[in-house]
Amino acid sequence: MEFTAEAIARFLNGEIEGNPQVKVNTIAKIEEGKEGALSFLSNPKYEQYLYTTKSSVVLVNKGFVPSEKVNATLIRVENAYEAFASLLTLVAKARPEKTGIHPTAIIEEGATVGENVYIGAYAFIGAGSKIGNGSKVYPQVYIGDNTSVGSNCIIYQGVKIYHECVIGNNCIIHAGTVIGSDGFGFAPQSDNQFMKIPQIGNVVLEDNVEIGANVAIDRATMGSTIIRKGVKIDNLVQIGHNVEIGENTVMAGQTGIAGSTKIGRNCMFGGQVGIAGHLRVADGVKLGAQAGVIGDIKEENAIMVGSPAMEHRQFMKSFVYYRKLPELSSLADNLKKEIEKLKNG
Strands 194-196 and 186-188: antiparallel
- The arithmetic mean of pLDDT across residues 281-310, rounded, is 95
| Residue 156 pLDDT class (50, 70, 90 cuts) | very high
Domain chopping of the chain, boundaries: 3-94, 100-314
Question: Tell me, which fold does domain 3-94 have in CATH?
Answer: 3.40.1390
pLDDT per position as a tens digit, 54-94: 999 999 999 999 999 999 999 999 999 999 999 888 777 77
* Domain pair 3-94 / 100-314, same fold: no
164: closest CA among 117, 137, 127? 127
- The arithmetic mean of pLDDT across residues 165-192, rounded, is 96
- The arithmetic mean of pLDDT across residues 236-263, rounded, is 98
| Residue 341 pLDDT class (50, 70, 90 cuts) | confident
Q: Rounded mean pLDDT of the chain?
A: 94
So what's the pLDDT on residue 242? 98
**DSSP-based three-state secondary structure for 30:** helix
- The arithmetic mean of pLDDT across residues 224-242, rounded, is 98
Residue 234's contacts (CB-CB under 8 Å, 6 or more residues apart) are 212, 250, 251, 252, 253, 255, 271
Say if residue 322's pLDDT is above 90: no
- The arithmetic mean of pLDDT across residues 140-164, rounded, is 98
So what's the pLDDT on residue 338? 84
Taking the model in full, what pTM does it have? 0.85
So what's the pLDDT on residue 320? 78
Cα separation, 290 vs 292, whole angstroms: 6
pLDDT per position as a tens digit, 280-294: 999 999 999 999 999
Lowest-confidence region among 91-100, 197-206, 213-222, 234-243:
91-100
| 197 neighbors 185 (Cβ within 8 angstroms) | yes
- The arithmetic mean of pLDDT across residues 228-256, rounded, is 98
| Number of CB atoms found within 10 A of residue 180's CB | 24
278 catalytic, yes or no?
A: no
So what's the pLDDT on residue 318? 79
Cα separation, 116 vs 134, whole angstroms: 5
So what's the pLDDT on residue 345? 66
Residue 126, sorted as left (phi over 0), alpha (psi -120 to 50) or beta, turns out to be beta
Catalytic residue among 102, 241, 278, 312: 241
- The arithmetic mean of pLDDT across residues 193-201, rounded, is 95
What is the number of H-type helices and E-type strands within the chain? 5, 40
So what's the pLDDT on residue 96? 83
Lowest-confidence region among 44-53, 85-94, 131-140:
85-94
Share of the chain above pLDDT 70, in %: 99
Sign of CA dihedral 17, 18, 20, 26: negative
- The arithmetic mean of pLDDT across residues 200-214, rounded, is 98
Beta bridge partners of 227: 205, 245
Q: What is the CATH number of domain 100-314?
A: 2.160.10.10
326 CB-contact burial (10 Å; exposed 0-12 / middle 13-18 / buried 19+): exposed
**DSSP-based three-state secondary structure for 181:** strand
Cα separation, 159 vs 139, whole angstroms: 9
**DSSP-based three-state secondary structure for 214:** coil
| Residue 2 pLDDT class (50, 70, 90 cuts) | confident
pLDDT per position as a tens digit, 92-125: 777 788 889 999 999 999 999 999 999 999 999 9
- The arithmetic mean of pLDDT across residues 40-53, rounded, is 95
Say if residue 158's pLDDT is above 90: yes
| 251 neighbors 232 (Cβ within 8 angstroms) | yes
So what's the pLDDT on residue 162? 98
| Residue 238 pLDDT class (50, 70, 90 cuts) | very high
Name the residue with higher pLDDT: 2 or 21. Answer: 21
**DSSP-based three-state secondary structure for 51:** coil
